[in-house]
Structure 1
Amino acid sequence: MKLGAFSMSLSVKDITVSKQFYEELGFKVFAGDLEKKYLIMKNENALIGLFQGMFEGNILTFNPGWDENANTMEQFDDIRVIQKQLKSKNIALMTEADENTSGPASLMVMDPDGNVVLLDQHI
């Protein structure tokens, strides 16, 4: 399975404080909107999403079809193909992509330790 770019989506208490902290670690704002309480920050190939008040807990995020610079990959596994593979392995899905569509879609699974994994295809 080609899952695409990986990032950690962090649920933060104060996005401004978190932004400053990660800037001290060498991260720079890559995308997002501070006023809307979300930022994507990047340090080389490492991506961290900061989200205030959008969800509880932290989420491992993969973006099928994107590389770490949000460039469209020539070849990638569509989210619906990945979903079928997960189902064939009897992996329980928390949310599902509509298999009768194409383009942007997402799904969520939970790992054995309760960590949420989001596969979020934007193309």
Structure 2
Amino acid sequence: METQLSMLVLEVRDLEASVAFYRDLGLEVPDPQPGRPLVIHRMGSGVSLLLTTSFAATYDPAWTRPAGGYQQLLEFYVGDDASVDRRWADLVAAGHPGRMPPTQTAGPYAAMVDDPDGNVVLLTSDEGARVDGAAPGTS
């Protein structure tokens, strides 16, 4: 059996703020249920994004929230270069910190923005990150 990434868990400080950010990003994240400190959104790729305020602290007594910097990038394929431009502009206009404006990198055309917890979200037009089964160069 092939080992596969099935879920990305993000420890967040404010569940409602994180839900709003990922909705602004374009994900159809459901409303949190009363009394549950988490929300799960399953993406078309099959990978789930779980936002929680307490999983690590509950099950790992040695866990501490990182104080600064970032250790990972969450890459989201958003379409063509113009889609990267629009999505970045919309997120920054909504008050989310822009880390890198849309730029042709040594690889894909990309932009970076911080989510409410300082996780860096990479917006890209990299066809290699597309998982919906469409052939590169098609919509």
What's the TM-score, normalizing by structure 2? 0.34
Question: Comparing both chains, which one has the higher relative contact order based on Cα–Cα distances under 8 Å and sequence gaps of 6 or more?
Answer: 1
What's the TM-score, normalizing by structure 1? 0.37
Bigger fraction of residues in strand: 1
